Amino acid sequence: GDGLSILDGNQISHFGIEQGLLSNEIYSLFESRSGDIWIGTDYGVSRFDGKSFQHFTKDQGLIGEIITSIEEDSEGIIWFGVLDGGISRYDGSSFVNFGIDQGLIDPTVVRLEMDESENLWIGTTHGLSILSREFQNKITSGEEILSNPFESFNTEDGLPDNFILQIVDLPGKAISLGTNQGITRLKYHPEEEPKLRKFEIFNSETGFPVKDLTDGQNGMLLDSKGLIWAGTGSVKTGLVRMDQDRIQADSTPPQVEIKQVRLNEEIIPWHLLAEGEGSESFSSITDQLITLGRRLPAGEKQELKEKFQGVKMDGVSPFIPIPENLELPYRHNQINIEFSTNELAKPYLIEYQHLLEGYESDWSPILRRTSTTFGNIQEGDYTFRVRARYAGNSVDQPSAWSNEVTFSFTILPPWYRSWWAYTLYAILFLSLIYPLHLFQRNRLLKAEREKTKERELAHAKEIEKAYQELNQTHENLKATQSQLIQAEKMASLGELTAGIAHEIQNPLNFVKNFSEVSHELVDEMNEEIQSGDYEEAKSLAKEIQENLDRISLHSMRADAIVKAMLQHSKASVGNKEPTEINALADECLRLSYHGVRAKEPDFKSDYITQLEPNLPEVEVIRKEIGRILINICNNAFYAVHQKAKETNDPNYIPKVVISTHRTKKGIEIKITDNGTGIPQDIIGKIFQPFFTTKPTGFGTGLGLSLSYDTVKSYQGELTAESKTGSDSYTTFTIFLPLNSTQKPEVL
C-alpha cells in the first residue's frame, strides 16, 4: 500500500509513514462525530485530527494489529474489528477487548456494523455475532456480565455461508449480509421466536444472479433511495443492484410428497415386487437404477421376491415409485417412510408433522426430520398422513400448512391369529377336546353319585369334630392370651420395682441413719443445756446441722434417680429440624444423577426440577427424607436407562422430573420418569419387603419397603402410579403433613 490520500477541493494531500502514518497498508477508514479520521492499518490504528496523528497498537491495549472495520455509537465509543483477535472497545481512555474466550463466534473479524438500535453486528470468517445495546450499557456502567454477551448465527442456523464479507443496516430492524453465497436479509426481532424464519437468501440457488461478494470497506452499501448496491467477483454480474421493495415474500405453503417406503430398513424397488414372474418392464428397470443405483441380476431379483413373499399391492404410483394399497405379512410389520417438499433451496426452513392413524392418536411433534419409522405394528388397516410448513409460523395458523399427503397400508395377522387358524382351533376342540370332556365328565359323575352319601356323612362328622376342637382351641387361646398379658405386666412391674429398690435403697439408708443419729444428738444437746454447758451444746447443734445437710443431699440424690428413671422410660425420638424441601429435592436429584453417571459412563438423561416457590419448612429428619428421595431417583434413572437400552430408539429422550406442591394439609413431592413403567399386576407389591423387579444383584427389595415405613412414621403417605407401553411412565408421590412433629410411640 501507498498510505492515505486526502482530496480537499482540487488539492490532494498524501500521507505515509514519513508523514507520521502508522503503516502504509490501510484496511479501513472512519470519520467520528468529532471530525477525527480513524485509519485502520495492518499494524494498528491511527487517529488524525487534521494536524497530527495519534497511534494505537497492541501496546496501548488493542486486541490485535490488523484493523478491518471501525464503528462508533451515540456515546462516542469507538469499536474496532480486528482480523487477528476479535473486537476492541475504546472509550477515549482505555480499551476493553472481546475474543473467543468472551463468547465471540470467531476471532477473525472481517466487518462491523452498528444498526439503528445500536446493536453491534460482527461478521467473521466462521459466522455472525451480535452484541446488543443492553450488554453495551452494562459494559459502560461497569456492571459484571455473568452470561455470554453475544448471540451468534452460522450455517446450522440458516446462513448460506459462514464467511461474512459485508454488513449493511436496513430500515425496519433489518440487516443485509454479503457472503460468497450471495446476499442474506435478516429481520432481527430479539423478542420473537424462532429467529431462523427471518433469514431471506438471495443467490443463484434461489433464483437471483448474486454470488461471490467482494470484501473491503463499502463493498456493499445502501443508497438514499433504499437500493442495495453490491460488488461481486462474477464476470457477468460484477455490480448488483437490489430493489427490496420489488421482492415479494412467498406465502405459498410448500408441497409435500412421500419419497420412499422401506420395510425393515431395506430399500425396495417396488415395481419388481408388483410385477409377475419372468416379466421386467422399463419402469422396473428405472426403479432399480434410481433406488439401488444398479440393475439387479436375476439371482438377486429372485432372492428379493422370496424374501418379501406375501407382500401385495394394487400397483405402484408413477414418477415416484410408492406402492398403492400395500398389504404386508405380519413378519414385515416395521415400516420406514421418507418424505420431502419442493423447497430445494432452503430445506432447513421446512418443518413437518405426521400421524399414523390406527397406531397413534395425536400428531407428532413439529420436527425437521424427513423420515420416520414405525415398528411392531399390530395387524390392521393404517393410513400415514404428513404435512409441511415453513418454520416460524404458529401452529394455530392452518393456512401455513401444506395439503396432507397420505399413504395407506394393511398389516395381516400372524398365522396363529388368522381366521383359518381360529377355524382350525374350533374344529380341533369339537373333534377331540369336547368329546373327551363329555366322556370324562360322565365317568366322574357316576363315581361321584356312588360316594355321595358316604362323603356327606363323613363330612358331617368331621365338621362336628372340627367345631368342638376349634371351640376348645379358642378357649385355650383366650386363657393363654390373658396369662401372657398378666405375665408381661407382672414382669414389667417386677423389673421396675427391682430397679427402684436397687437404685433408691442406698440414699434412703443414709437418710434413715442420719435421722437416728440426729435424734440422739438432740437428746444429748438437751442434757448439756440443762447442765449449763452451752459450748458443748453448740458443738452438738453444729453436728445436727451437718447431719441435716447430709439428709438433704441424699434426698436430692433419690429425687434425681427417680427423674432419670422417668426420663429413661420415655419413647426415644429422632432429631428433627426445619427442612427446606425444595433445596433437599434439588440436591438429591443431582446427587442421584451424578451417582448413576459414575457407575454407567454411557448413561444419559434429562433431569428437571419443577419446584413450587415459597414452600414452608417441614419438621423432618433431613437424612431420612434424603435417603428416600435418592432411592426413588435412583430407581427412576435405572428405569429410563433400561428403556433406552431396550428400545434403542434415537427419538427417545430419557427424562426424570421432580416437583413439589403445597396442598391444604401438607407438601407433595412427585418423582416422575418416562422409563419402562411398572405392570399393573405387580405395582401393588412394590412396597413389600424383599420384592424387586431388578435382576439378581441389582437390588435388595428393601429400599421402597423401608421408605414406605419411614414416610408412614411422619403420618405421611408414599404412593406409586405407573403405565407401561409406548408412552410409559412412573410417578412416586410423597405426602408430608405440615404438623408431623411426632414419631410413633416406641413401646
pLDDT in tens, 59-100: 999 999 999 999 999 999 999 999 989 999 999 999 999 999
Which has the closest alpha carbon to 670: 727, 629, 712, 713? 629
**pLDDT interval class at 438 (50, 70, 90):** confident
Residues 178, 181, 186, CA angle at the centre, nearest 5°? 50
Is pLDDT at 500 greater than 80 in this prediction?
A: no
Is pLDDT at 241 greater than 50 in this prediction?
A: yes
Could you please report the per-residue DSSP string of 191-227? TSS-GGGGEEEESGGGT-----B--STTSEEE-TTSE
pLDDT at 159: 85
| Distance from C-alpha of 655 to C-alpha of 675, rounded to nearest angstrom | 8
Lowest mean pLDDT among 11-20, 241-250, 594-603: 241-250
pLDDT at 485: 40
Is pLDDT at 366 greater than 60 in this prediction?
A: yes
Which has the closest alpha carbon to 367: 345, 350, 384? 350
pLDDT at 430: 79
CATH superfamily of 4-246: YVTN repeat-like/Quinoprotein amine dehydrogenase (2.130.10.10)
pLDDT at 495: 36
Note whether 183 and 323 are within 8 A (CB): no
Residues 6+ away with beta carbon under 8 Å from 535: none
pLDDT at 611: 95
Is pLDDT at 204 greater than 50 in this prediction?
A: yes
pLDDT at 568: 35
Rounded average pLDDT over 540-559? 81
Is pLDDT at 492 greater than 50 in this prediction?
A: no
pLDDT at 614: 93
557-561 long-range contacts, CB within 8 A, separation 24+? 557/507, 558/504, 558/507, 558/508, 558/511, 561/503, 561/504, 561/507
pLDDT at 236: 77
Lowest mean pLDDT among 196-210, 604-618, 648-662: 196-210
**pLDDT interval class at 572 (50, 70, 90):** very low
Q: Does domain 256-268+308-417 have CATH number 2.40.50.140?
A: no
Rounded average pLDDT over 41-56? 93
| Distance from C-alpha of 118 to C-alpha of 477, rounded to nearest angstrom | 93
Of the two residues 119 and 565, the one the predictor is more confident about is 119
pLDDT at 201: 81
pLDDT at 696: 60
Residues of the chain with pLDDT > 90, as a percent, come to 40
Is pLDDT at 481 greater than 60 in this prediction?
A: no
pLDDT at 197: 47
Of the two residues 267 and 478, the one the predictor is more confident about is 267
21 CB-side CA count, 13 A: 22
Is pLDDT at 605 greater than 70 in this prediction?
A: yes
C-alpha cell, 699: 437390588
pLDDT at 655: 96
pLDDT at 574: 58
Of the two residues 453 and 679, the one the predictor is more confident about is 679
Q: Model-level pTM?
A: 0.42
Rounded average pLDDT over 12-35? 91
Is pLDDT at 338 greater than 70 in this prediction?
A: yes
C-alpha cell, 485: 398379658
For the structural domain made of 577-737, what CATH number should be given? 3.30.565.10
DSSP 689: T
Residues of the chain with pLDDT > 70, as a percent, come to 86
- Tens of pLDDT, residues 111-158: 999 999 899 999 999 999 999 888 888 887 777 766 788 999 888 877
Rounded average pLDDT over 234-258? 80
Is pLDDT at 493 greater than 50 in this prediction?
A: no
Rounded average pLDDT over 603-626? 92
C-alpha cell, 398: 392452518
Is pLDDT at 293 greater than 90 in this prediction?
A: no
pLDDT at 586: 94
Of the two residues 288 and 388, the one the predictor is more confident about is 388
Of the two residues 570 and 208, the one the predictor is more confident about is 208
- Tens of pLDDT, residues 654-697: 999 999 999 999 999 999 999 999 999 999 888 887 677 777 65
Note whether 349 and 200 are within 8 A (CB): no
- Amino acid at residue number 721: E
| Distance from C-alpha of 451 to C-alpha of 462, rounded to nearest angstrom | 16
pLDDT at 404: 93
pLDDT at 460: 73
pLDDT at 487: 46
Rounded average pLDDT over 611-639? 92
**pLDDT interval class at 109 (50, 70, 90):** very high
Of the two residues 640 and 531, the one the predictor is more confident about is 640
- Rg of the chain over Cα atoms, rounded to whole angstroms, equals 45
pLDDT at 741: 46
Residues present in the chain in total: 747
Is pLDDT at 258 greater than 80 in this prediction?
A: yes
Residues 6+ away with beta carbon under 8 Å from 553: none
Mean pLDDT over the full length of the chain: 83
Which has the closest alpha carbon to 166: 96, 242, 224? 242
Of the two residues 608 and 190, the one the predictor is more confident about is 608
Where do the structural domains in the chain lie, given as residue ranges?
A: 4-246, 256-268+308-417, 452-569, 577-737
pLDDT at 425: 79
pLDDT at 479: 66
- Tens of pLDDT, residues 693-739: 777 656 666 788 888 989 999 999 999 999 998 899 999 999 999 87
Is pLDDT at 278 greater than 70 in this prediction?
A: no
| Distance from C-alpha of 700 to C-alpha of 702, rounded to nearest angstrom | 5
